Amino acid sequence: MRYVSTRGQAPVLNFEQAMLSGLARDGGLYLPETIPPFEGLDQLDGLPYEEVAFRVIRPFTGDSFTDEELRGAIDRAYARIAHDARAPLVQLAPGHHLLELFHGPTLAFKDFAMQLIAQLFQIALTRSGQRVTIVGATSGDTGSAAIEAFRGIDNVDVMIMYPHGRVSEVQRRQMTTPPAANVHALAVTGHFDDCQARLKDLFNDHAFRDHVGLAGVNSINWARVVAQIVYYFTACASLGMRPTDFCVPTGNFGDIFAGSIARQMGLPIRRLIVATNQNDILHRALTSGDYRMGEVEPTISPSMDIQVSSNFERALYLAYGQDANAIRQLMEELKQGGFSISQGALEALREQYVSGRVGEQETLDTIRDIRARTGEILCPHSAVGVAVAQRHIEPGVPMVTLATAHPAKFPDAVERAIGLRPGLPPHMADLFDLPERLTRVENDVDALKSLILERRTA
């Protein structure tokens, strides 16, 4: 399978190359040239998660990994998810289901992709003898998932930038407490969007990129999107493969875009519902056709506090009929603050995406209400999803809301809603006793470059 950039000016790569590079050299994002239709939808019910993962992922990896390598990586990755179903589907109300994606080691859905790509990096780098420096930007959950997945993996240094003072204490500690010498938490003065912009600066400096073997594991990495396709399949298999709506708490548009790929592979997904908090650029774009950056407002669902939604570029590329020139032009306009989506592309987007926005009070009310009616405690991101899903439920069409994090990861918000601090699962009960290790750094690309050069072990 061949991977092309959304901006049309980067080399065409295979799966392994696209995975190891992350962002394309022209600033674009990699996508497969064509999406393979999935054969055997009716044979998935009752299979272990790992088997479904193998069947879904296999067509995308081409000849980058043997069947044995891929199966081994999947088995090792998901053995670390503390639930036999890996992604259990729990019923909330008639016709409304919650897909629990928070049973992994860092309690958020990001473990599903990160655990797998760490295993695939290990295989690829051991084979080639190459070393890489992974640099990531996180609003909290990507960074903890990356540090947890890559700690101790050979031939890899990991540097994670997060916005200082803007991640929850559990998120921060998950990044700052692992003692492995190859992982580093960098606290940047600024917002998540600043971290993401500096990350792009680093990748766009090709000399630096080649010198340190820069690799990216942000949600723009195609291999992460692929891993996230799998749970749409297991959810639909549990519901009998009938037309189903999915509601996805959305920030960088990675998780929901995986759903769109699943849909193109033939999975009976009817609508994909984008749920945002008050940082609602995606909701405004889908409603008005105008994609325009605003100011980031900190919320109780911090992993969705962004204004530029990186993976949306992939959805735009498909909506514009794979016209890379059009995407290059839009991204130029975005540098000036925003752009208008063409009528044709907007219609194509609205064929599959619906959207909704939820304020802080409604998020808290939803946590309280769902607890009272079902006993389930939602994290604030999942609550945003549930609130939007409730507006869109239609009789006869199952609704699946993705529960993206465990409530214990955001105890302050949950306590505000229900007066109770949810406890951490036993395997991380000592998180608050471990010593922390982090480095403060300015929102400045040169400061970051020197730090990376100094810390990497290669």
Specify the amino acid at residue 27.
Answer: G
- Which stretch in 59-67, 251-259, 357-365, 386-394 sits in contact with ligand PLP by CB under 6 A? 251-259
33 touches 2 (CB < 8 A): yes
CA atoms of 292 and 140, how far apart (whole Å): 24
| Binding flags for ligand PLP, 129-148, as an x/- string (CB under 6 A) | ------------x-------
Given the structure tokens 């780098």, which residue do they identify? 125
**Contact flag: residue 253 with ligand PLP (CB under 6 A):** yes
Using the minimum distance from each CB to ligand PLP, give the nearer residue, 132 or 405: 405
Helix, strand, coil shares of the chain, percent, nearest 5, are: 45, 15, 35
**Interface size with ligand PLP, residues (CB under 6 A):** 16
**Contact flag: residue 255 with ligand PLP (CB under 6 A):** yes
Choose which of 5, 177, 277, 303 interacts with ligand PLP (CB under 6 A): 303
**Contact flag: residue 111 with ligand PLP (CB under 6 A):** no
CA atoms of 443 and 389, how far apart (whole Å): 37
CA distances for 328 relative to 27, 29, 196, 333, 344, angstroms: 9, 11, 19, 9, 17
**Contact flag: residue 304 with ligand PLP (CB under 6 A):** yes
**Contact flag: residue 236 with ligand PLP (CB under 6 A):** no
Using the minimum distance from each CB to ligand PLP, give the nearer residue, 193 or 255: 255
**Contact flag: residue 299 with ligand PLP (CB under 6 A):** no
382 touches 348 (CB < 8 A): no
**Nearest distance from C-beta of residue 304 to ligand PLP, angstroms:** 5
Using the minimum distance from each CB to ligand PLP, give the nearer residue, 110 or 173: 110
304 touches 276 (CB < 8 A): yes
**156: number of Cβ within 10 Å:** 25
- Catalytic (active site) residue 110: yes
What are the tokens at 235? Answer: 């959810």
* 406 CA to centre of own chain: 15
- Which stretch in 67-75, 77-85, 243-251, 260-268 sits in contact with ligand PLP by CB under 6 A? 243-251
Q: Residue 286 forms beta bridges with which residues?
A: none
**Nearest distance from C-beta of residue 111 to ligand PLP, angstroms:** 10
What are the tokens at 230? Answer: 């799998």
- Which stretch in 28-36, 248-256, 351-359, 368-376 sits in contact with ligand PLP by CB under 6 A? 248-256
**Contact flag: residue 278 with ligand PLP (CB under 6 A):** no
**Contact flag: residue 305 with ligand PLP (CB under 6 A):** no
**Contact flag: residue 381 with ligand PLP (CB under 6 A):** yes
**Contact flag: residue 401 with ligand PLP (CB under 6 A):** no
Using the minimum distance from each CB to ligand PLP, give the nearer residue, 70 or 77: 77
CA atoms of 172 and 69, how far apart (whole Å): 33
What are the tokens at 422? Answer: 């949810």
Query: Which of 308, 296, 293, 277 shows the shortest CA–CA distance to 198?
Result: 308
**Nearest distance from C-beta of residue 454 to ligand PLP, angstroms:** 29
What are the tokens at 48? Answer: 């272990």
What are the tokens at 249? Answer: 């708490």
Choose which of 73, 89, 120, 405 interacts with ligand PLP (CB under 6 A): 405
What's the CA angle centered on 214, arms 210 and 215, to 5 degrees?
A: 135
DSSP character at residue 425: P
Choose which of 108, 183, 223, 348 interacts with ligand PLP (CB under 6 A): 108
Site for ligand PLP in 200-219 (CB under 6 A): 219
16 touches 8 (CB < 8 A): no
**Contact flag: residue 356 with ligand PLP (CB under 6 A):** no
- Which stretch in 13-21, 231-239, 244-252, 432-440 sits in contact with ligand PLP by CB under 6 A? 244-252
**Where do contacts with ligand PLP occur on this chain (CB under 6 A)?**
108, 110, 141, 219, 249-255, 303-304, 381, 404-405
Q: Which active-site residues does the annotation give?
A: 110
